[in-house]
């Protein structure tokens, strides 16, 4: 592969403009050559701001995929089209970064994994919270065995009043769910990755529509329309892994609590524990001798890091491009992301049926 990658972006809305395009544009190994959106004006605006000279604009992603000079596609569309576009892109010979969650359903996520294997294309999912300095440092400690056997964890994705009222976030058909699939997915991915445990045995969950039926002007992004709020406002799950380790997952866009934390986790192991309450806090006899009770980090001295400060989004994109240029496995593998989708779907199923969901 050449040292300059031609990249196309499908879906030129908030996540593309807020994350992918700014970070990609800062990489000298990248050339942004094509932009696609069902609202063509959005694609044109993105091309004008970030595109290379002669960048093409499309309304139909199928036309974009016909361009053989495009090597990489970033999928930044609503959840219900992730699998369709990602699979078509891989079948067209492109490597793919798809935004989280991997897909609307677990079956679609499994099809994406199969497509990556069948085509030999690289596929990764946009779980950018893995690339925070505290996450990277804690991953090093976990891999070094400093926490021992991690047998209990909490995955936190709690907002008090921060319901996204734009786009299709409240549309169950487009998204597949609310805060659980939107931000709970980040917390769960982070927790599974740090534990290095991707073998669930059983899931019990519950989802609530308690506050969504009421108008709320105090919402961070303006009042929501209860008639359009078709997804849960909060959801919770207990996940038991095959080795007995247990994870409690909590997620909300609207909940009467002051205990707000998002994309964080708490880990409890035989040798020590850690949480991400405010920076990275570590405890345990061995850990207390090695570290202060609370560790404030920048990215210096962390694996994957090249010595300069950068945002987690910049780190994510840089390592993705490095994986492509040097034929490495992406930090976020499709198999890992697929397990996240399977667990999230099991929580929704358990909430719907009132029964635990068991994995084979």
pLDDT of residue 281: 83
Its pTM stands at 0.93
pLDDT of residue 308: 52
Q: CA-CA distance, 116 to 122, in Å (whole number)?
A: 6
Domain that holds residue 57: 5-128
140 & 185 share domain: yes
The DSSP element (H or E) to which 169 belongs, if any, is: none
339 & 199 share domain: yes
pLDDT band per the 50, 70, 90 thresholds, residue 48: very high
What are the tens digits of pLDDT across the range 68-80? 999 999 999 999 9
* pLDDT for residue 172 is more than 60: yes
57 & 83 share domain: yes
Q: Which whole-number Å values give the CA distances from 120 to 75, 85, 123, in the listed order? A: 18, 16, 9
246 & 106 share domain: no
Please say which residue of 104, 128, 152 terminates a domain: 128
Q: CA-CA distance, 142 to 163, in Å (whole number)?
A: 33
Which CATH number fits the domain that encloses residue 34?
A: 3.40.50.720
Percentage of the chain surpassing pLDDT 70? 93
Please say which residue of 128, 143, 166 terminates a domain: 128
300 & 336 share domain: yes
* pLDDT for residue 299 is more than 70: no
141 & 193 share domain: yes
pLDDT of residue 3: 79
- Write the DSSP string, 74-92: EE-S-GGGHHHHHHHHHHT
Please say which residue of 89, 108, 128 terminates a domain: 128
What are the tens digits of pLDDT across the range 318-338? 999 999 999 999 999 999 999
Q: Is residue 17 part of a domain?
A: yes
User: Counting beta carbons within 10 angstroms of the beta carbon of residue 40, is it exposed (0 to 12), middle (13 to 18) or buried (19 or more)?
Assistant: middle
The DSSP element (H or E) to which 158 belongs, if any, is: strand 150-158
Structure tokens, 10: 């499908």
pLDDT of residue 268: 95
pLDDT band per the 50, 70, 90 thresholds, residue 307: very low
Q: Is residue 310 part of a domain?
A: no
Q: Is residue 59 part of a domain?
A: yes
pLDDT band per the 50, 70, 90 thresholds, residue 215: confident
Q: CA-CA distance, 204 to 356, in Å (whole number)?
A: 5
Q: Is residue 322 part of a domain?
A: no
What are the tens digits of pLDDT across the range 255-298? 999 999 999 999 999 999 999 987 788 887 655 444 434 444 44
* pLDDT for residue 309 is more than 80: no
* pLDDT for residue 306 is more than 90: no
pLDDT band per the 50, 70, 90 thresholds, residue 217: confident
Q: Is residue 168 part of a domain?
A: yes
Q: What is the mean pLDDT of residues 157-173?
A: 95
pLDDT of residue 279: 76
Three state DSSP letters for 216-228: CCCCCCCCCCHHH
103 & 205 share domain: no
262 & 153 share domain: yes
Beta-strand pair 273-275/280-283 = antiparallel
pLDDT of residue 2: 62
Q: Tokens 């609207």 map to which residue?
A: 254
* pLDDT for residue 301 is more than 70: no
Q: What is the mean pLDDT of residues 169-183?
A: 96
What are the tens digits of pLDDT across the range 4-26? 999 999 999 999 999 999 999 99
Q: CA-CA distance, 286 to 7, in Å (whole number)?
A: 46
Q: What is the mean pLDDT of residues 137-143?
A: 94
Count of domains for the chain: 2
pLDDT of residue 32: 98
pLDDT band per the 50, 70, 90 thresholds, residue 1: low
Q: Is residue 316 part of a domain?
A: no
48 & 144 share domain: no
135 & 120 share domain: no
123 & 18 share domain: yes
145 & 108 share domain: no
Which CATH number fits the domain that encloses residue 186?
A: 3.30.360.10
Q: Is residue 313 part of a domain?
A: no
105: Cβ–Cβ under 8 A, 6 or more apart, which residues?
Answer: 176, 341, 345
357: Cβ–Cβ under 8 A, 6 or more apart, which residues?
Answer: 202, 203, 204, 205, 346, 347, 349, 350
285: Cβ–Cβ under 8 A, 6 or more apart, which residues?
Answer: 272
Q: Is residue 320 part of a domain?
A: no
Q: CA-CA distance, 120 to 107, in Å (whole number)?
A: 20
Q: What is the mean pLDDT of residues 132-143?
A: 94
């Amino acid at each position: 592969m050449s040292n300059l990658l031609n990249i196309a972006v499908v879906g030129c809305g908030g996540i593309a403009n807020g994350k992918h395009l700014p970070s990609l544009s800062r990489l000298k190994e990248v050339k942004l050559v094509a932009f696609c959106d069902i609202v063509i004006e959005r694609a044109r605006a993105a091309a004008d701001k970030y595109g290379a000279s002669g960048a093409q604009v499309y309304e139909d992603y199928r036309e974009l995929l016909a361009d053989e000079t495009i090597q990489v596609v970033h999928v930044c569309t609503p959840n219900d089209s992730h699998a369709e576009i990602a699979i078509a892109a891989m079948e067209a010979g492109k490597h793919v970064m798809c935004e989280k969650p991997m897909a609307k359903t677990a079956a679609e996520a499994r099809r994406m994994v199969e497509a990556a294997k069948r085509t030999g294309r690289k596929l990764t999912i946009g779980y950018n919270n893995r690339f925070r300095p505290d996450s990277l440092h804690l991953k090093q400690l976990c891999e070094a065995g400093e926490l021992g056997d991690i047998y209990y964890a909490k995955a936190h994705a709690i907002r008090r009043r921060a319901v996204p009222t734009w786009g299709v976030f409240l549309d169950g058909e487009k998204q597949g769910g609310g805060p659980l699939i939107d931000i709970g997915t980040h917390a769960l991915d982070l927790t599974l990755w740090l534990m290095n445990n991707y073998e669930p045995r059983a899931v019990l969950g519950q989802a609530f529509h308690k506050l969504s039926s009421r108008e709320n002007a105090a919402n961070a992004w303006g009042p929501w329309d209860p008639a359009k709020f078709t997804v849960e406002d909060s959801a919770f799950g207990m996940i038991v892994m095959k080795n007995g380790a247990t994870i409690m997952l909590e997620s909300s866009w609207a909940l009467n609590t002051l205990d707000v934390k998002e994309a964080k986790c708490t880990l409890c192991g035989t040798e020590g524990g850690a949480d991400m309450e405010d920076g990275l806090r570590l405890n345990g006899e061995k850990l207390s001798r090695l570290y202060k009770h609370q560790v404030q980090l920048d990215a210096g001295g962390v694996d994957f890091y090249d010595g300069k400060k950068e945002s987690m989004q910049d780190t994510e994109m840089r390592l993705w491009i490095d994986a492509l240029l040097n034929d490495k496995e992406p930090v976020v593998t499709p198999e890992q992301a697929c397990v996240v989708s399977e667990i999230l779907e099991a929580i929704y199923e358990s909430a719907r049926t009132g029964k635990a969901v068991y994995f084979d």
